[in-house]
A and B are shown apart, each in its own frame.
Chain A
Amino acid sequence: MADLTIRTERTDSDAIVSVGGDLDYDSHGRLEQALDAALDGGPPSGLVVDLADVTYCDSCGLRVLLGAQARARDVGATFVLQGAQGQPARALKLTGLDQVFG
Chain B
Amino acid sequence: MDGRHGVPTCVADVGTTADDTPSTAPAPVPPTAVGPGLIDGLDEGVVVCDRAGVVRAANAAARDLLPDLRVGEVVDVARCEVLARAVHGEGPGTGSFEAVVEHPEGERHVRGRRGPVLGPTPPPPPEPGEGDSTWFLRDVTGEHARTDTLLAAQERAAFLAEAGRALHGVLHLDRTARRVVALAVPRLAAGAVLVMRHDDQVIWAATELGGGRPRLGHAAASALTRVPRVAAALADEGGGVDVDPWLAEELATLTGLDAPGSGAPLRACPVPVTGVVDALVVLAGPRAAGGDVTDPEEDLLSSYVARAGAALAAAALHEEQAHLGAVLQESLAAPRLPETDGVVWGAAYRPARETMRVGGDFYEVVGPRGEEGRSAFLLGDVCGKGIEAAVLSGRVRQSWHALRLLEDRPARLLPLLNTALLDAVATRDEGPRFATMVLGDARPQDDGSVALRLATGGHPPPLVLRADGGVETVPVAGMLVGGLREARFGEAEVLLGPGDTCLLYSDGVVEARGPGDFFGEERLAAALPACAGAPAAVVCEYLEQTVVEWLDGHDHDDVALLAIQAPA
Chain A residues at the B interface, C-beta cutoff of 8 Å: 1, 25, 56, 58-60, 62-63, 66-67, 70, 87, 94-97, 99-100
Q: Which residues in A have their C-beta under 8 angstroms from that of B278?
A: none
Identify the closest chain B residue to A98 (Cβ). Answer: B479
Q: Which residues in A have their C-beta under 8 angstroms from that of B432?
A: 63, 66-67, 70
The answer for the CA separation of A59 and B558 in the assembled complex, in Å, is 13
The answer for the CA separation of A69 and B190 in the assembled complex, in Å, is 68
Q: Which residues in B have their C-beta under 8 angstroms from that of A97?
A: 458, 479-480, 483
Residues 473-529 (chain B) with a chain A CB within 8 angstroms: 477-480, 483-484, 487-488, 507, 511, 513, 518
Taking A58-B507, A87-B511 as contacts, is the C-beta distance between A96 and B383 under 8 angstroms?
Answer: no
Whether B458 lies near A94 (C-beta < 8 A) is yes
Smallest CB–CB gap between B231 and chain A, Å?
43
Residues 362-396 (chain B) with a chain A CB within 8 angstroms: 381-385
Most buried by B among A25, A59, A60, A99: A59
Most buried by A among B381, B383, B487: B383
Whether B477 lies near A66 (C-beta < 8 A) is no
Q: Which residues in B have their C-beta under 8 angstroms from that of A96?
A: 458, 477-480, 484, 487-488
Identify the closest chain A residue to B384 (Cβ). Answer: A60
Q: Which residues in A have their C-beta under 8 angstroms from that of B357?
A: 25
Smallest CB–CB gap between B302 and chain A, Å?
41
* Any A CB within 8 A of the CB of B106: no
Q: Which residues in B have their C-beta under 8 angstroms from that of A67?
A: 431-432
Whether B484 lies near A100 (C-beta < 8 A) is yes
Smallest CB–CB gap between B558 and chain A, Å?
12
Whether B479 lies near A100 (C-beta < 8 A) is yes
Taking A59-B436, A66-B432 as contacts, is the C-beta distance between A94 and B460 under 8 angstroms?
Answer: yes
Q: Which residues in A have their C-beta under 8 angstroms from that of B460?
A: 94
Q: Which residues in A have their C-beta under 8 angstroms from that of B483?
A: 62-63, 66, 95, 97
List 9 extra interface pairs beyond A63-B434, A94-B436, CB under 8 A.
A58-B383, A59-B383, A62-B383, A62-B483, A63-B431, A66-B432, A95-B479, A95-B483, A96-B477
Smallest CB–CB gap between B284 and chain A, Å?
52
Q: Which residues in A have their C-beta under 8 angstroms from that of B384?
A: 25, 59-60, 63
The answer for the CA separation of A25 and B383 in the assembled complex, in Å, is 9
Identify the closest chain B residue to A96 (Cβ). Answer: B479
Q: Which residues in A have their C-beta under 8 angstroms from that of B433?
A: 63
Whether B488 lies near A59 (C-beta < 8 A) is no
* Any A CB within 8 A of the CB of B459: yes
14 CB < 8 A contacts A-B: A25-B385, A56-B511, A58-B557, A59-B382, A62-B434, A63-B431, A66-B484, A67-B432, A87-B518, A94-B436, A95-B436, A95-B479, A96-B480, A96-B484
Q: Which residues in B have their C-beta under 8 angstroms from that of A66?
A: 432, 434, 480, 483-484
Most buried by A among B432, B507, B557: B432
Smallest CB–CB gap between A100 and chain B, Å?
6
Identify the closest chain B residue to A22 (Cβ). Answer: B513
Identify the closest chain A residue to B483 (Cβ). Answer: A66
The answer for the CA separation of A25 and B480 in the assembled complex, in Å, is 18
Q: Which residues in A have their C-beta under 8 angstroms from that of B381?
A: 59
Partner of B477, one of A56, A58, A94, A100: A94
Smallest CB–CB gap between A54 and chain B, Å?
14
Smallest CB–CB gap between A75 and chain B, Å?
16
Whether A95 lies near B518 (C-beta < 8 A) is no
Q: Which residues in A have their C-beta under 8 angstroms from that of B383?
A: 58-60, 62-63
Identify the closest chain A residue to B521 (Cβ). Answer: A90
Taking A25-B385, A67-B431 as contacts, is the C-beta distance between A95 and B511 under 8 angstroms?
Answer: no
Smallest CB–CB gap between B395 and chain A, Å?
15
The answer for the CA separation of A7 and B359 in the assembled complex, in Å, is 29
Identify the closest chain A residue to B385 (Cβ). Answer: A25
Q: Which residues in B have their C-beta under 8 angstroms from that of A58?
A: 383, 507, 511, 557
Q: Which residues in A have their C-beta under 8 angstroms from that of B385?
A: 25
Whether B434 lies near A59 (C-beta < 8 A) is yes
Q: Which residues in A have their C-beta under 8 angstroms from that of B382?
A: 59
The answer for the CA separation of A38 and B359 in the assembled complex, in Å, is 30
Q: Which residues in A have their C-beta under 8 angstroms from that of B480?
A: 62, 66, 95-97
The answer for the CA separation of A53 and B434 in the assembled complex, in Å, is 25
The answer for the CA separation of A100 and B518 in the assembled complex, in Å, is 26
Identify the closest chain A residue to B480 (Cβ). Answer: A95
The answer for the CA separation of A55 and B423 in the assembled complex, in Å, is 33
The answer for the CA separation of A1 and B551 in the assembled complex, in Å, is 13
Q: Which residues in B have their C-beta under 8 angstroms from that of A70?
A: 432
Identify the closest chain A residue to B488 (Cβ). Answer: A96
The answer for the CA separation of A96 and B483 in the assembled complex, in Å, is 10
Q: Which residues in B have their C-beta under 8 angstroms from that of A99?
A: 479
Most buried by B among A63, A66, A95: A95
Q: Which residues in A have their C-beta under 8 angstroms from that of B557?
A: 58
Identify the closest chain B residue to A59 (Cβ). Answer: B383
Partner of B458, one of A1, A25, A56, A95: A95
The answer for the CA separation of A1 and B431 in the assembled complex, in Å, is 27
What are the 8 closest A-B residue pairs judged by CB atoms, nearest first? A96-B479, A59-B383, A95-B458, A66-B432, A95-B480, A63-B432, A63-B383, A67-B431
Smallest CB–CB gap between A96 and chain B, Å?
3
The answer for the CA separation of A60 and B459 in the assembled complex, in Å, is 15
Smallest CB–CB gap between A101 and chain B, Å?
11
Could you give, for residues 277-302 of chain B, a 1 whenever the CB lies within 8 Å of some chain A CB and a 0 otherwise?
00000000000000000000000000
Identify the closest chain B residue to A86 (Cβ). Answer: B518
Identify the closest chain B residue to A87 (Cβ). Answer: B518
The answer for the CA separation of A99 and B381 in the assembled complex, in Å, is 21
The answer for the CA separation of A63 and B434 in the assembled complex, in Å, is 8
Identify the closest chain A residue to B459 (Cβ). Answer: A94
The answer for the CA separation of A59 and B435 in the assembled complex, in Å, is 8
The answer for the CA separation of A58 and B479 in the assembled complex, in Å, is 15
Identify the closest chain A residue to B517 (Cβ). Answer: A87
